Each structure stands twice: as structure tokens, then as C-alpha cells.
Amino acid sequence: MKNSKAEIFVGIDVSKNSFDLAFFPKHASLSFLYDDLHLKDLVQLLKQTAPHLVVLEATGGYEKKLFQTLKDAQIPVLIVNPKRVRDFAKSMGYLAKTDKIDAFVLARYASLVREGTLEMEADDELRSLKRRRDQVVKMLVEEKNRLKQASDLVRGRIKKHIEILEEEKEDLTKEIEKQLKKEAKFSDLSQKVGLLVSIPGVNLVTALSVLLEMPELGKVNRKEIAALAGLAPFNRDSGKFRGKRGIWGGRKKVRQSLYMAVLAGLRWNKKMREFFTHLTEDGKKGGKIALTACMRKLLTIMNQILKNETPWEEIPAKANS
């Protein structure tokens, strides 16, 4: 999964009347008018360049014609979520925003998610199963909350529905596991899931959730991955005011998955439990802050495991501590 020096990645920032093109690892950039003539020029250029991946942002529909043109020309192209790219840009220190900078950020982003994004085009079945499981889990939480205040007249009906939902959740979990093992196109994803579930407290669903929502995992450093997830603490200072550092932005679904994994880890993962105890025993950090720190630590461990392609038991002590 290492990048070849010959591989080129392209980012294209699209607007209504023009688009900017950037290359990575080269720092070259070009601008085109957004019309049929220049689209043909672009296709010819990219066929000569043969990029590993071209990435576009979703920009209110302006990108659709360009995307279809590249796809028809059999050039590997992917449309990505603009919020993810912006989070990535912030984590890399790109705070300024121009068309050329945006194009370069997209090219850089493409180089990091090279396997993950291409994988995600093929995993619609897994994504659908995971989405449905999330919906069932949400319904379960809602029904269990209703049960607490339900009258005797409806309590039995709610309990029956909870049983049905629990069975559905279990069936969906088994189907996800079955698909991961069965389909050849998920082989790389299955390998990554296998590495992550080696961490005590991380189950198959948690591992899959994090991988689907964060294809950058294993391809960036620990500070960048924490910033992408919204787990990197930022200062809140203004003038003479010095506020407490806090987290913001990032990917909510990743944090939700990590939170549940940390709760399980506090029971099953000795090192995580020791880390949490160390943070709280002196009284300087409350439980919520300590849990957030544990989530950040778990994510960096996941990142290290995928980067080294080495399971939990075999990762260096430094990454574990």
C-alpha cells in the first residue's frame, strides 16, 4: 500500500465558468475554461499524464459534467465530500482558500486516500448494510427510552418491538461479517478490519465504521488524524483571555464509534484503563476530558496499526503507551 514515485494525483477545483487543476507530488497547476473545447483538452492532458486518481469536490452540481466526461474517458475519478477536504486542509495547515490552493489540497488528499476512496466505490453493499444497522440501533435507543415512561397498556408492545430490533441488529452484524469474508473486492478492507479488531474493545462494526468514514487512516500522522476526526485540542485565546482548550469540527460518526470502543476498552483493554485512570486519579481531568483523550489515543493507535500493517499485540510499545 505504499505510493510509487511514478504515481501522479490530480485535484480539480470546479466553479461555474472555469476549473483549476493541480498535480501531486508535482506542484504544477493549470486553469481551464469550463466548456466542451477545454474539456477535450483536459481529457487529452490527463490521458498523457495517466494519473492514479483525480479528485473533485461536490460543488452544487457544477462538477457533474466534468465527472462524467472523465469517467467516459476511463480516467479514474472520484467526487468527495467538501467538508472532509476542508477538515483535511486545516489539519495540514492550509488555512488560506483560493482556487489553486483548493486544487492542490484535493490532489494531496487524493494521494492519501488512494486505496480507500477507490475501495469505497465498490463497497455499496457494505455501506448500505452499515447504514441500516445504524438506523436499527437508533430505533433501539428510542424504543428503550420510550419504555422507561410507557404505560402498562403499551409496555408489552414496546418490549416486543425491542426484541425484533435486537434480532435485526444481530442479523445485520452477521451479514456484514459474511460480506467482508465473502467478497474478493473487500479483501483489502477485510484485512484492515482484521488489524483493527485486534485492539481489545474494538469490534467489527466499530472498525468498519471508522474505516468507511476515515479512509485517511494509516496514511497521515497522529496529529493530522486527530484533527480530521475533530479530536485535536485547539486553543481558545483572544487578547488577554485564555480559555480552555477544546475540540471542534471533524467527523461525528468517527467520534461516536470511538466513544463506544473506549467504553468497551475500559473494561477489556488494560492499557486503556491504566491511561484513563492516570488522567483522572489526580483530579485535574474530569471523566469527559479523560474519555476524549482516550478516544484520541485509540485513534492514533489505529492509525499506527494500519500504517505498520501490524496487529495490536505486535505494535511497538511506544505506540501502545
pLDDT digits (tens, 9 = 90+) for 245-291: 444 456 888 999 999 999 999 988 888 888 888 888 766 566 788 89
244: CB partners within 8 A, 6+ apart = 236
Question: Would you say residue 169 has pLDDT above 90?
Answer: yes
In this prediction the pTM is 0.63
Please answer whether residues 10 and 54 qualify as being in contact, where contact means their C-beta atoms are separated by less than 8 angstroms. yes
Pick the closest to residue 225 from 124, 305, 126, 312 (CA basis): 305
* Greatest mean pLDDT among 23-27, 59-63, 299-303: 299-303
Question: Residues 155, 161, 166, 167: what is their CA dihedral angle, to the nearest 10 degrees?
Answer: 140
Note if the bond before 25 is cis, omega within 30 degrees.
Answer: yes
- Spell out a b/e string for 103-135, using b for 16 or more CB atoms within 10 Å of the CB, else e: bbbbbbbbbbbbbbbebbeebeebeebbeebbe
- Grid cell at residue 277: 485512570
Tell the CATH superfamily of the 9-112 domain: ATPase, nucleotide binding domain (3.30.420.40)
pLDDT tens digits along 211-241? 888 888 888 888 888 888 888 764 443 344 3
